[in-house]
Structure 1
Amino acid sequence: METTIGPGRGRATPLPPDERRAAILLAVRPVILARGAAVTSRELAEAAGVAEGTLFRVFTDKVTLVREAVLAAVDPADAIPEIAAIDRTLPLRDKLLLLMTQAQAHVSESMRWMSLLHEVGRLEPAGPTGEQREAAMRQWGRRQQAGTAAVTVAVSELLDLDAHQLRLPLADVIELFNTVLLGATIRTVDASRRGLDTGPPAPEQLVDLILHGVLTPISSDRSS
Protein backbone atom coordinates (compact mmCIF):
# COMPACT_ATOMS: atom_id res chain seq x y z
CA MET A 1 0.00 0.00 0.00
CA GLU A 2 1.36 3.44 -0.89
CA THR A 3 1.95 5.73 2.02
CA THR A 4 3.72 8.75 0.55
CA ILE A 5 1.64 11.91 0.82
CA GLY A 6 2.34 14.72 -1.60
CA PRO A 7 3.74 15.07 -5.09
CA GLY A 8 6.51 12.51 -4.64
CA ARG A 9 5.52 8.85 -4.99
CA GLY A 10 7.31 5.78 -3.77
CA ARG A 11 7.80 3.83 -0.58
CA ALA A 12 8.07 5.72 2.67
CA THR A 13 7.69 5.08 6.36
CA PRO A 14 3.97 4.53 6.94
CA LEU A 15 2.27 7.46 8.65
CA PRO A 16 0.07 6.89 11.69
CA PRO A 17 -3.61 6.85 10.60
CA ASP A 18 -4.46 10.29 12.00
CA GLU A 19 -1.39 11.89 10.44
CA ARG A 20 -2.04 10.22 7.10
CA ARG A 21 -5.64 11.44 7.15
CA ALA A 22 -4.58 15.01 7.99
CA ALA A 23 -1.86 14.96 5.32
CA ILE A 24 -4.33 13.88 2.64
CA LEU A 25 -6.83 16.56 3.66
CA LEU A 26 -4.10 19.20 3.39
CA ALA A 27 -2.71 17.92 0.09
CA VAL A 28 -6.06 17.90 -1.73
CA ARG A 29 -7.07 21.47 -0.82
CA PRO A 30 -5.68 23.19 -3.95
CA VAL A 31 -7.40 20.84 -6.40
CA ILE A 32 -10.70 21.02 -4.51
CA LEU A 33 -10.55 24.81 -4.44
CA ALA A 34 -9.81 24.84 -8.19
CA ARG A 35 -12.33 22.19 -9.29
CA GLY A 36 -15.03 22.36 -6.64
CA ALA A 37 -17.51 19.50 -6.35
CA ALA A 38 -16.60 18.46 -9.92
CA VAL A 39 -13.21 17.20 -8.77
CA THR A 40 -12.64 13.53 -9.65
CA SER A 41 -11.33 10.73 -7.48
CA ARG A 42 -8.34 10.45 -9.76
CA GLU A 43 -7.50 14.14 -9.35
CA LEU A 44 -7.78 13.82 -5.58
CA ALA A 45 -5.50 10.77 -5.53
CA GLU A 46 -2.93 12.50 -7.72
CA ALA A 47 -2.97 15.58 -5.50
CA ALA A 48 -2.45 13.41 -2.41
CA GLY A 49 0.26 11.33 -4.09
CA VAL A 50 -1.50 8.02 -3.40
CA ALA A 51 -3.45 5.43 -5.36
CA GLU A 52 -7.24 5.77 -5.49
CA GLY A 53 -7.54 2.50 -3.58
CA THR A 54 -5.40 3.91 -0.78
CA LEU A 55 -7.48 7.09 -0.75
CA PHE A 56 -10.70 5.20 -0.19
CA ARG A 57 -9.26 2.99 2.51
CA VAL A 58 -8.90 6.22 4.48
CA PHE A 59 -12.16 7.91 3.40
CA THR A 60 -15.50 6.27 2.64
CA ASP A 61 -16.00 7.98 -0.72
CA LYS A 62 -15.18 11.11 -2.70
CA VAL A 63 -17.94 13.22 -1.19
CA THR A 64 -16.81 12.37 2.35
CA LEU A 65 -13.22 13.30 1.49
CA VAL A 66 -14.18 16.61 -0.10
CA ARG A 67 -16.49 17.51 2.77
CA GLU A 68 -13.86 16.74 5.40
CA ALA A 69 -11.21 18.67 3.45
CA VAL A 70 -13.49 21.71 3.36
CA LEU A 71 -14.25 21.49 7.08
CA ALA A 72 -10.54 21.18 7.88
CA ALA A 73 -9.76 24.17 5.65
CA VAL A 74 -11.99 26.52 7.68
CA ASP A 75 -10.45 25.57 11.02
CA PRO A 76 -9.61 28.88 12.77
CA ALA A 77 -6.42 27.31 14.15
CA ASP A 78 -4.95 27.45 10.64
CA ALA A 79 -4.35 31.17 11.27
CA ILE A 80 -2.12 30.64 14.32
CA PRO A 81 1.25 30.28 12.51
CA GLU A 82 0.65 33.60 10.71
CA ILE A 83 -0.28 35.30 13.96
CA ALA A 84 2.76 33.87 15.72
CA ALA A 85 4.99 35.22 12.92
CA ILE A 86 4.03 38.84 13.66
CA ASP A 87 6.80 40.73 15.46
CA ARG A 88 5.60 41.35 19.03
CA THR A 89 7.79 44.45 19.29
CA LEU A 90 5.96 46.33 16.53
CA PRO A 91 3.77 49.31 17.48
CA LEU A 92 0.23 48.33 18.47
CA ARG A 93 -1.41 49.82 15.37
CA ASP A 94 1.00 47.99 13.07
CA LYS A 95 0.27 44.69 14.77
CA LEU A 96 -3.47 45.26 14.54
CA LEU A 97 -3.14 46.14 10.84
CA LEU A 98 -1.32 42.88 10.15
CA LEU A 99 -3.89 40.96 12.20
CA MET A 100 -6.81 42.59 10.37
CA THR A 101 -5.24 41.97 6.95
CA GLN A 102 -4.65 38.31 7.82
CA ALA A 103 -8.14 37.93 9.27
CA GLN A 104 -9.85 39.43 6.22
CA ALA A 105 -7.91 37.11 3.92
CA HIS A 106 -8.80 34.12 6.11
CA VAL A 107 -12.49 35.06 6.16
CA SER A 108 -12.52 35.54 2.38
CA GLU A 109 -10.99 32.11 1.82
CA SER A 110 -13.34 30.53 4.37
CA MET A 111 -16.31 31.93 2.48
CA ARG A 112 -15.06 30.23 -0.69
CA TRP A 113 -14.71 26.97 1.18
CA MET A 114 -18.19 27.22 2.69
CA SER A 115 -19.72 27.78 -0.74
CA LEU A 116 -17.99 24.55 -1.78
CA LEU A 117 -19.51 22.83 1.25
CA HIS A 118 -22.98 23.73 -0.04
CA GLU A 119 -22.06 22.26 -3.43
CA VAL A 120 -20.93 19.03 -1.79
CA GLY A 121 -24.09 18.87 0.33
CA ARG A 122 -26.21 18.68 -2.81
CA LEU A 123 -24.29 15.59 -3.92
CA GLU A 124 -24.77 13.62 -0.71
CA PRO A 125 -27.46 10.94 -0.61
CA ALA A 126 -29.87 10.49 2.27
CA GLY A 127 -29.60 7.68 4.80
CA PRO A 128 -26.46 6.63 6.68
CA THR A 129 -24.28 9.08 4.77
CA GLY A 130 -26.53 11.90 5.95
CA GLU A 131 -26.09 10.70 9.54
CA GLN A 132 -22.34 10.63 9.05
CA ARG A 133 -22.51 14.18 7.71
CA GLU A 134 -24.37 15.36 10.82
CA ALA A 135 -21.77 13.68 13.04
CA ALA A 136 -19.02 15.37 11.03
CA MET A 137 -20.72 18.74 11.44
CA ARG A 138 -20.91 18.26 15.23
CA GLN A 139 -17.24 17.37 15.27
CA TRP A 140 -16.54 20.42 13.12
CA GLY A 141 -18.41 22.62 15.61
CA ARG A 142 -16.19 21.36 18.43
CA ARG A 143 -13.10 21.93 16.28
CA GLN A 144 -14.24 25.47 15.47
CA GLN A 145 -14.71 26.23 19.15
CA ALA A 146 -11.29 24.86 20.06
CA GLY A 147 -9.66 26.64 17.12
CA THR A 148 -11.25 29.96 18.03
CA ALA A 149 -10.03 29.61 21.62
CA ALA A 150 -6.51 28.83 20.39
CA VAL A 151 -6.54 31.90 18.11
CA THR A 152 -7.66 34.08 21.04
CA VAL A 153 -4.69 32.84 23.05
CA ALA A 154 -2.31 33.58 20.16
CA VAL A 155 -3.70 37.11 19.74
CA SER A 156 -3.52 37.71 23.49
CA GLU A 157 0.14 36.71 23.49
CA LEU A 158 0.81 39.03 20.54
CA LEU A 159 -0.84 42.05 22.17
CA ASP A 160 0.14 41.40 25.77
CA LEU A 161 2.97 43.97 25.67
CA ASP A 162 0.43 46.65 24.67
CA ALA A 163 -2.16 45.94 27.35
CA HIS A 164 -1.06 48.94 29.41
CA GLN A 165 -2.03 51.26 26.53
CA LEU A 166 -5.60 50.04 26.39
CA ARG A 167 -8.61 51.59 28.10
CA LEU A 168 -10.40 48.22 28.07
CA PRO A 169 -9.20 44.80 29.23
CA LEU A 170 -7.30 42.96 26.50
CA ALA A 171 -10.01 40.28 26.27
CA ASP A 172 -12.61 42.98 25.54
CA VAL A 173 -10.39 44.56 22.87
CA ILE A 174 -10.00 41.20 21.13
CA GLU A 175 -13.78 40.71 21.26
CA LEU A 176 -14.25 44.19 19.80
CA PHE A 177 -11.76 43.37 17.04
CA ASN A 178 -13.74 40.22 16.19
CA THR A 179 -17.03 42.13 16.24
CA VAL A 180 -15.73 44.75 13.81
CA LEU A 181 -14.31 42.02 11.56
CA LEU A 182 -17.63 40.13 11.59
CA GLY A 183 -19.61 43.29 10.86
CA ALA A 184 -17.37 44.16 7.93
CA THR A 185 -17.71 40.61 6.61
CA ILE A 186 -21.53 40.65 6.83
CA ARG A 187 -21.58 44.02 5.07
CA THR A 188 -19.45 42.67 2.22
CA VAL A 189 -21.54 39.51 1.86
CA ASP A 190 -24.79 41.50 1.85
CA ALA A 191 -23.44 43.87 -0.80
CA SER A 192 -22.38 40.92 -2.94
CA ARG A 193 -25.86 39.36 -2.71
CA ARG A 194 -27.32 42.62 -4.00
CA GLY A 195 -24.90 42.67 -6.92
CA LEU A 196 -22.71 45.43 -5.48
CA ASP A 197 -18.96 44.93 -5.75
CA THR A 198 -17.98 47.18 -2.84
CA GLY A 199 -15.22 44.99 -1.48
CA PRO A 200 -14.27 44.81 2.19
CA PRO A 201 -13.40 47.97 4.14
CA ALA A 202 -9.70 48.84 4.25
CA PRO A 203 -7.86 47.30 7.23
CA GLU A 204 -6.56 50.76 8.16
CA GLN A 205 -10.12 52.07 8.43
CA LEU A 206 -11.23 49.21 10.65
CA VAL A 207 -8.18 49.35 12.90
CA ASP A 208 -8.49 53.11 13.38
CA LEU A 209 -12.16 52.62 14.26
CA ILE A 210 -11.14 50.13 16.96
CA LEU A 211 -8.36 52.31 18.32
CA HIS A 212 -9.91 55.78 18.07
CA GLY A 213 -13.65 55.47 17.43
CA VAL A 214 -15.35 58.04 15.22
CA LEU A 215 -15.09 61.27 17.22
CA THR A 216 -12.70 64.03 16.22
CA PRO A 217 -10.08 64.47 18.96
CA ILE A 218 -10.78 67.55 21.08
CA SER A 219 -7.77 69.79 21.50
CA SER A 220 -6.80 71.16 24.88
CA ASP A 221 -7.63 74.70 23.68
CA ARG A 222 -11.21 73.76 22.71
CA SER A 223 -11.79 71.84 25.92
CA SER A 224 -10.69 74.69 28.18
Structure 2
Amino acid sequence: MTVASDERGVARPGRAAPLPPDERRRAILDAVRPLVLARGASVTTKELAQAAGVAEGTLFRVFADKTTLVRDVVHAAIDPASAVPELDAIDRASWLEHRLTRVFEIGFEQITATIRWVGVLHELARDDVGVSRTRAETGRAWIESQEAGEEAVRAALARVLEPDADRFARPLADVVELLDVLIVGASMQAVNAARRGRAPTQPPVAQLVDTFLHGVLAPTPTRSS
Protein backbone atom coordinates (compact mmCIF):
# COMPACT_ATOMS: atom_id res chain seq x y z
CA MET A 1 0.00 0.00 0.00
CA THR A 2 1.30 3.44 -0.89
CA VAL A 3 1.53 6.22 1.64
CA ALA A 4 1.44 9.92 0.83
CA SER A 5 1.27 13.02 2.96
CA ASP A 6 -1.15 15.91 2.94
CA GLU A 7 -0.19 19.59 2.79
CA ARG A 8 0.72 19.47 6.51
CA GLY A 9 2.99 16.46 5.95
CA VAL A 10 0.55 14.01 7.61
CA ALA A 11 0.74 10.51 6.17
CA ARG A 12 -2.34 9.41 4.25
CA PRO A 13 -2.61 5.73 3.23
CA GLY A 14 -4.02 4.64 -0.13
CA ARG A 15 -2.75 7.42 -2.43
CA ALA A 16 0.53 7.68 -4.28
CA ALA A 17 2.71 10.71 -3.73
CA PRO A 18 2.03 13.44 -6.32
CA LEU A 19 4.40 13.65 -9.25
CA PRO A 20 6.82 16.56 -9.55
CA PRO A 21 5.48 19.24 -11.96
CA ASP A 22 7.69 18.26 -14.92
CA GLU A 23 6.88 14.57 -14.55
CA ARG A 24 3.16 15.30 -14.22
CA ARG A 25 3.28 17.41 -17.38
CA ARG A 26 5.04 14.65 -19.34
CA ALA A 27 2.64 12.04 -18.01
CA ILE A 28 -0.37 14.06 -19.17
CA LEU A 29 1.15 14.69 -22.60
CA ASP A 30 1.88 10.98 -23.07
CA ALA A 31 -1.56 9.92 -21.84
CA VAL A 32 -3.58 12.20 -24.12
CA ARG A 33 -1.43 11.85 -27.25
CA PRO A 34 -3.51 9.09 -28.95
CA LEU A 35 -6.72 10.99 -28.21
CA VAL A 36 -5.39 14.26 -29.64
CA LEU A 37 -4.21 12.50 -32.79
CA ALA A 38 -7.64 10.89 -33.22
CA ARG A 39 -9.80 13.92 -32.36
CA GLY A 40 -7.58 16.83 -33.35
CA ALA A 41 -8.44 20.32 -32.17
CA SER A 42 -12.07 19.30 -31.59
CA VAL A 43 -11.12 17.27 -28.52
CA THR A 44 -12.82 18.53 -25.36
CA THR A 45 -11.25 19.24 -22.00
CA LYS A 46 -13.48 16.58 -20.47
CA GLU A 47 -12.12 13.99 -22.90
CA LEU A 48 -8.55 15.11 -22.22
CA ALA A 49 -9.04 14.85 -18.47
CA GLN A 50 -10.55 11.38 -18.78
CA ALA A 51 -7.68 10.20 -20.98
CA ALA A 52 -5.14 11.59 -18.51
CA GLY A 53 -6.99 10.15 -15.52
CA VAL A 54 -7.19 13.52 -13.77
CA ALA A 55 -9.77 16.18 -13.03
CA GLU A 56 -10.23 19.01 -15.54
CA GLY A 57 -9.00 21.44 -12.91
CA THR A 58 -5.74 19.51 -12.69
CA LEU A 59 -5.18 20.01 -16.42
CA PHE A 60 -5.44 23.76 -16.03
CA ARG A 61 -3.02 23.80 -13.13
CA VAL A 62 -0.45 22.33 -15.51
CA PHE A 63 -1.48 23.97 -18.81
CA ALA A 64 -2.89 27.45 -19.36
CA ASP A 65 -5.77 26.23 -21.53
CA LYS A 66 -6.85 23.49 -23.92
CA THR A 67 -5.08 25.08 -26.88
CA THR A 68 -1.79 25.16 -24.98
CA LEU A 69 -2.18 21.51 -23.99
CA VAL A 70 -2.98 20.34 -27.52
CA ARG A 71 -0.16 22.44 -28.97
CA ASP A 72 2.32 21.02 -26.47
CA VAL A 73 1.18 17.48 -27.29
CA VAL A 74 1.87 18.13 -30.98
CA HIS A 75 5.26 19.70 -30.30
CA ALA A 76 6.30 16.70 -28.19
CA ALA A 77 5.02 14.27 -30.82
CA ILE A 78 6.91 15.85 -33.71
CA ASP A 79 10.19 16.20 -31.84
CA PRO A 80 12.69 14.45 -34.16
CA ALA A 81 14.53 13.10 -31.12
CA SER A 82 11.58 10.79 -30.42
CA ALA A 83 13.02 8.49 -33.11
CA VAL A 84 16.38 8.15 -31.34
CA PRO A 85 15.42 5.22 -29.03
CA GLU A 86 14.27 3.17 -32.04
CA LEU A 87 17.43 4.00 -33.97
CA ASP A 88 19.59 3.09 -30.99
CA ALA A 89 17.76 -0.24 -30.72
CA ILE A 90 19.01 -1.33 -34.16
CA ASP A 91 21.50 -4.17 -33.82
CA ARG A 92 24.91 -2.79 -34.77
CA ALA A 93 26.16 -6.32 -35.43
CA SER A 94 23.60 -6.96 -38.19
CA TRP A 95 24.37 -6.54 -41.88
CA LEU A 96 24.58 -2.94 -43.10
CA GLU A 97 21.68 -3.56 -45.49
CA HIS A 98 19.52 -4.76 -42.60
CA ARG A 99 20.37 -1.72 -40.51
CA LEU A 100 19.59 0.64 -43.37
CA THR A 101 16.27 -1.08 -44.01
CA ARG A 102 15.25 -0.41 -40.42
CA VAL A 103 16.48 3.20 -40.67
CA PHE A 104 14.26 3.82 -43.70
CA GLU A 105 11.27 2.20 -41.99
CA ILE A 106 11.69 4.33 -38.87
CA GLY A 107 12.20 7.47 -40.95
CA PHE A 108 9.08 6.90 -43.02
CA GLU A 109 6.98 6.20 -39.92
CA GLN A 110 8.28 9.36 -38.24
CA ILE A 111 7.61 11.63 -41.22
CA THR A 112 4.14 10.18 -41.85
CA ALA A 113 3.19 10.75 -38.21
CA THR A 114 4.65 14.27 -38.26
CA ILE A 115 2.49 15.23 -41.23
CA ARG A 116 -0.62 14.07 -39.37
CA TRP A 117 0.39 16.07 -36.30
CA VAL A 118 1.02 19.21 -38.33
CA GLY A 119 -2.56 18.88 -39.53
CA VAL A 120 -3.66 19.20 -35.90
CA LEU A 121 -1.64 22.42 -35.60
CA HIS A 122 -3.43 23.77 -38.67
CA GLU A 123 -6.76 22.97 -37.00
CA LEU A 124 -5.69 24.95 -33.96
CA ALA A 125 -4.77 27.91 -36.14
CA ARG A 126 -8.24 27.90 -37.69
CA ASP A 127 -10.12 27.45 -34.43
CA ASP A 128 -8.25 29.77 -32.07
CA VAL A 129 -7.18 33.29 -32.96
CA GLY A 130 -4.77 33.27 -30.04
CA VAL A 131 -2.60 30.62 -31.63
CA SER A 132 -0.75 33.09 -33.83
CA ARG A 133 0.28 35.14 -30.80
CA THR A 134 1.23 32.02 -28.85
CA ARG A 135 3.17 30.65 -31.80
CA ALA A 136 5.16 33.87 -32.04
CA GLU A 137 5.95 33.74 -28.34
CA THR A 138 7.11 30.11 -28.41
CA GLY A 139 8.40 29.92 -31.98
CA ARG A 140 12.08 30.41 -31.22
CA ALA A 141 12.09 27.83 -28.45
CA TRP A 142 10.31 25.37 -30.72
CA ILE A 143 12.78 25.93 -33.57
CA GLU A 144 15.69 25.41 -31.21
CA SER A 145 14.09 22.22 -29.93
CA GLN A 146 13.61 20.95 -33.49
CA GLU A 147 17.22 21.72 -34.38
CA ALA A 148 18.44 19.91 -31.28
CA GLY A 149 16.22 16.94 -32.13
CA GLU A 150 17.53 16.81 -35.70
CA GLU A 151 21.09 16.86 -34.41
CA ALA A 152 20.26 14.00 -32.04
CA VAL A 153 18.86 11.99 -34.96
CA ARG A 154 21.97 12.61 -37.06
CA ALA A 155 24.12 11.43 -34.15
CA ALA A 156 21.97 8.30 -33.82
CA LEU A 157 22.25 7.62 -37.56
CA ALA A 158 26.02 7.96 -37.31
CA ARG A 159 26.03 5.37 -34.52
CA VAL A 160 24.03 2.99 -36.71
CA LEU A 161 26.43 3.38 -39.65
CA GLU A 162 29.70 3.70 -37.72
CA PRO A 163 30.61 -0.04 -37.80
CA ASP A 164 30.98 0.29 -41.59
CA ALA A 165 32.45 3.80 -41.71
CA ASP A 166 35.64 2.57 -43.36
CA ARG A 167 33.64 1.19 -46.31
CA PHE A 168 32.11 4.51 -47.33
CA ALA A 169 33.60 6.69 -50.06
CA ARG A 170 32.58 9.82 -48.15
CA PRO A 171 33.05 10.94 -44.53
CA LEU A 172 30.45 9.49 -42.18
CA ALA A 173 28.84 12.91 -41.60
CA ASP A 174 28.29 13.30 -45.36
CA VAL A 175 26.82 9.81 -45.60
CA VAL A 176 24.37 10.62 -42.81
CA GLU A 177 23.28 13.83 -44.57
CA LEU A 178 22.74 11.99 -47.87
CA LEU A 179 20.73 9.29 -46.10
CA ASP A 180 18.53 11.94 -44.49
CA VAL A 181 17.94 13.60 -47.87
CA LEU A 182 16.90 10.29 -49.43
CA ILE A 183 14.51 9.42 -46.59
CA VAL A 184 12.81 12.82 -46.62
CA GLY A 185 12.67 12.98 -50.41
CA ALA A 186 11.09 9.54 -50.76
CA SER A 187 8.58 10.36 -48.02
CA MET A 188 7.53 13.64 -49.60
CA GLN A 189 7.08 11.95 -52.96
CA ALA A 190 4.46 9.70 -51.39
CA VAL A 191 2.86 12.63 -49.54
CA ASN A 192 2.58 14.74 -52.70
CA ALA A 193 0.99 11.83 -54.57
CA ALA A 194 -1.59 11.42 -51.81
CA ARG A 195 -2.42 15.15 -51.90
CA ARG A 196 -3.20 14.80 -55.61
CA GLY A 197 -5.42 11.80 -54.97
CA ARG A 198 -2.96 9.40 -56.55
CA ALA A 199 -1.55 6.15 -55.25
CA PRO A 200 1.73 6.60 -53.35
CA THR A 201 4.74 6.20 -55.61
CA GLN A 202 7.38 5.67 -52.95
CA PRO A 203 10.04 3.19 -54.14
CA PRO A 204 10.36 -0.06 -52.17
CA VAL A 205 12.70 0.17 -49.20
CA ALA A 206 14.96 -2.54 -50.63
CA GLN A 207 15.40 -0.48 -53.79
CA LEU A 208 16.20 2.64 -51.79
CA VAL A 209 18.78 0.79 -49.70
CA ASP A 210 20.41 -0.65 -52.82
CA THR A 211 20.48 2.75 -54.54
CA PHE A 212 21.90 4.43 -51.46
CA LEU A 213 24.72 1.91 -51.20
CA HIS A 214 25.49 1.30 -54.87
CA GLY A 215 24.14 4.29 -56.81
CA VAL A 216 22.18 4.19 -60.06
CA LEU A 217 24.97 3.27 -62.47
CA ALA A 218 25.16 -0.29 -63.70
CA PRO A 219 28.38 -2.13 -62.90
CA THR A 220 31.07 -1.41 -65.48
CA PRO A 221 32.07 -4.57 -67.35
CA THR A 222 35.69 -5.48 -66.85
CA ARG A 223 37.80 -5.96 -69.95
CA SER A 224 39.57 -9.25 -70.35
CA SER A 225 43.27 -8.94 -71.10
What is the TM-score of this pair, normalised by structure 1?
Answer: 0.89
Residue in structure 1 matched with residue 3 of structure 2 by the alignment: none
Residue in structure 1 matched with residue 50 of structure 2 by the alignment: 46
Measured in 2, the distance between the counterparts of 1:179 and 1:64 equals 32
Residue in structure 2 matched with residue 34 of structure 1 by the alignment: 38
Residue in structure 1 matched with residue 108 of structure 2 by the alignment: 104
> Structure 1: any 5+ residue segments left out of the alignment?
1-9
Residue 162 of structure 1, CA deviation: 0.6
CA 1:23 to 1:186, structure 2 compared with 1: closer, same or farther past 3 Å?
same
Matched-pair identity in %: 50
- State the Cα RMSD in Å: 1.6
Residue in structure 2 matched with residue 146 of structure 1 by the alignment: 148
Residue 202 of structure 1, CA deviation: 1.7
> Is the counterpart of residue 196 in structure 1 residue 198 in structure 2?
yes
Of the three residues 62, 65, 68, the one matched with 2:66 is: 62
Residue 82 of structure 1, CA deviation: 0.4
The residue type paired with residue 52 of structure 2 is A
Q: Residue 220 of structure 1: SS of its match in structure 2?
A: coil
Deviates more, 1:16-25 or 1:39-48: 16-25
Q: Residue 217 of structure 1: SS of its match in structure 2?
A: coil
Measured in 2, the distance between the counterparts of 1:13 and 1:25 equals 19
Residue in structure 2 matched with residue 205 of structure 1 by the alignment: 207
Measured in 1, the distance between the counterparts of 2:223 and 2:158 equals 37
Tell me if structure 2 keeps the 8 A contact 1:63–1:123: no
Tell me if structure 1 keeps the 8 A contact 2:74–2:118: yes
Residue 199 of structure 1, CA deviation: 4.7
Of the three residues 65, 87, 94, the one matched with 1:90 is: 94
Of the three residues 25, 30, 40, the one matched with 1:21 is: 25
Residue 60 of structure 1, CA deviation: 1.1
Measured in 2, the distance between the counterparts of 1:138 and 1:203 equals 35
Which stretches of structure 1, 4 residues or longer, exceed 3 Å deviation after superposition? Answer: none
Measured in 1, the distance between the counterparts of 2:210 and 2:139 equals 37
The residue type paired with residue 178 of structure 2 is L
Measured in 2, the distance between the counterparts of 1:119 and 1:209 equals 38
The residue type paired with residue 134 of structure 1 is A
CA offsets 1:170-198 (integer angstroms, 9 cap, x no match) = 11111001111121122122212221122
CA 1:11 to 1:218, structure 2 compared with 1: closer, same or farther past 3 Å?
same
Measured in 1, the distance between the counterparts of 2:204 and 2:138 equals 35
Which runs of structure 2 are paired with 1:106-185 in the superposition (5 Å)? 106-126=110-130, 130-185=132-187
CA offsets 1:106-128 (integer angstroms, 9 cap, x no match) = 111111111111011111224xx
Aligned residues: 212
Measured in 2, the distance between the counterparts of 1:200 and 1:25 equals 32
CA offsets 1:45-103 (integer angstroms, 9 cap, x no match) = 11111110000111111111111101110001100110111000111111011100111
Residue in structure 2 matched with residue 217 of structure 1 by the alignment: 219
Deviates more, 1:183-192 or 1:173-182: 183-192
User: Which of these two proteins has the greater Rg computed from alpha carbons?
Assistant: 2
Measured in 2, the distance between the counterparts of 1:124 and 1:166 equals 50
Tell me if structure 1 keeps the 8 A contact 2:36–2:43: yes
Residue 131 of structure 1, CA deviation: 2.5
